[in-house]
Structure 1
Amino acid sequence: MPEIPDLEAIRHYLMPRLEGLTIERTNAPIPWLIRTGAEDFGSLQGHQFGEIHRLGKFLLFFVDDGRILVVNPMLTGRFHWVEADAKKPGMLGVVIGFD
């Protein structure tokens, strides 16, 4: 499980990269990871992330329509930032593609 300094490092890495990008694709290869359902996750398409905050062991991704995507990194806490044409890491739980 990532510790708080790790989560802060992830937050500081992702915030300048995500802020203002439009979400073009969402995919949940492991659907039970999305607690609100795949349809709600898919409705993020066309929206943008704003700020990212940390609340305890959770990362909060603020969306431009007022929603908040709450991520609990759980045991491994891996985030991969890759270009669209790059080889994807082996096992992916959730994928979000940007413009």
Structure 2
Amino acid sequence: MIRLNVFVRVDAAHRAEFLEVAKKLIECSLKEVGCVAYDIFESATRGDVLMICETWKDAEALHAHEQAPHFVEYVGRMHAMAEMKQEKFNF
């Protein structure tokens, strides 16, 4: 399995819109073959920090996800609003 932790820094002016787009991405992604889990978490101490946590069955499923039209659209919009850094773990 593959776990991605995507750390997000978004300013207050874009936070609500970012969360709206992220929730649409999550809703679509949870329906994909090979998606084990997909969620977003908010920092308890910093209003500008979020984390998207996703788990995929294998590299094939993750690759298909990264090519999906909803991924391309929503992640492109999210990058325009925030700084995003990714950690990837295989287990």
| TM-score, normalising length: structure 2 | 0.32
> Which structure dedicates a bigger proportion of its chain to helix?
2
Task: Considering Cα pairs closer than 8 Å and 6+ residues apart, tell me whether 1 or 2 has the greater RCO.
Answer: 2
